[in-house]
Amino acid sequence: MELEAGKAFRLEETNPAVAGCTVSQQIAGGRNSLWIFSLGKGTDISGELYPYHKLLLVQDGQLKVRADRAETVLEPGQCFLAPTDVPVGMEAPTDTVYTELEIQKEDIMNNAVEAGKAFRLADLVPYQEGRIVNMDVVHNDKMKFVVMAFAAGTGLSEHAAPGDALIFALEGEGIIGYEGQAHTLKAGEQFRFAKNGLHWVKAEKPFKMGLLLTLE
């Protein structure tokens, strides 16, 4: 994964918008490639057909998505699962940064997510006192994207993952331990764990996050 591990950051700062231009960077490759796109104000990506879904997550700005003659405007923190086999185009009313995860038709998608409709990842899971609530949004044998809701006072003990992992802080504030150092992660920030990197999570306050794990 083409991101530095072990520090909190914002994706919109790693790939800022350029006036009058669209900028794209592949963060992770493989079957489920992850991209970051920056669109300068007034720029657009014309409608294109793909044989796979694209999960769009807006990091900053405002993204206007056109799919099958319908138009949806996404704000930061909102997602959109682009349908397959219909033209899907994007337009930026203001400088905008978003991520795009490629999802194949054979991947297992949670029924809570419907193609062609805007939603917030944070709204997929509720808080439950004294508990951590998980939901697999999509997964296959090489990738898992999960959302997690940590009630205040809960957390995950130190462990390591067999692949690269990228955290999206969705709501509240959490503390991430990584290789012996603690980092505060706030809504809108990201954090990367390298393969086999020891890490833990603690929520002193209610905290929701998305976690993308890639094994390729």
pLDDT higher than 80, residue 2: no
Tell me, yes or no, whether 18 and 111 share the same domain: yes
What is the average pLDDT across 113-130?
A: 96
Last residue of a domain, one of 118, 140, 161: 118
Count of domains in the chain? 2
CATH code at position 145: 2.60.120.10
147 touches 134 (CB < 8 A) = yes
Same domain, 101 and 159: no
pTM: 0.93
* Total residues belonging to the chain: 216
Inter-residue contact 133 to 183 (CB < 8 Å): no
Beta strand 78-82 pairing with 181-186? unpaired
pLDDT above 90 (res 1): no
Q: Are residues 209 and 127 in the same domain?
A: yes
Range of the domain at 48: 8-118
- The pLDDT, as a whole number, for residue 191 is 96
Q: How far is CA 185 from the centre of its chain?
A: 15
CA dihedral 28, 19, 55, 127 (to 10 degrees): 100
Which of 25, 36, 30, 34 lies closest to 63, judged by CA? 36
Q: 105 in a domain, yes or no?
A: yes
Q: What per-residue confidence (pLDDT) applies to 4?
A: 87
Question: Does the residue 1 lie in any domain?
Answer: no
β-partners of residue 167 are 191, 211
**E strand or H helix that includes residue 13:** helix 11-14
Give the residue among 216, 210, 196, 70 at the shortest CA–CA distance from 136. Answer: 210
Domain end among 85, 118, 151? 118
| Residues paired with residue 183 on neighbouring β-strands, in sequence order | 176
Instruction: Provide, rounded to the nearest whole percent, the portion of the chain with pLDDT above 70.
Output: 100
Distance of CA 95 to the CA centre of its chain: 19
pLDDT in tens, 29-51: 889 999 999 999 999 999 999 99
- pLDDT band with cut points at 50, 70 and 90 for residue 3: confident
In a shared domain, residues 113 and 130: no
Residue with tokens 């998608």: 109
**CB-hemisphere CA count at 13 Å for 122?**
15
pLDDT(216) > 80:
no
Residue 18 sits in the same domain as residue 108? yes
Whether residue 190 lies inside any domain: the answer is: yes
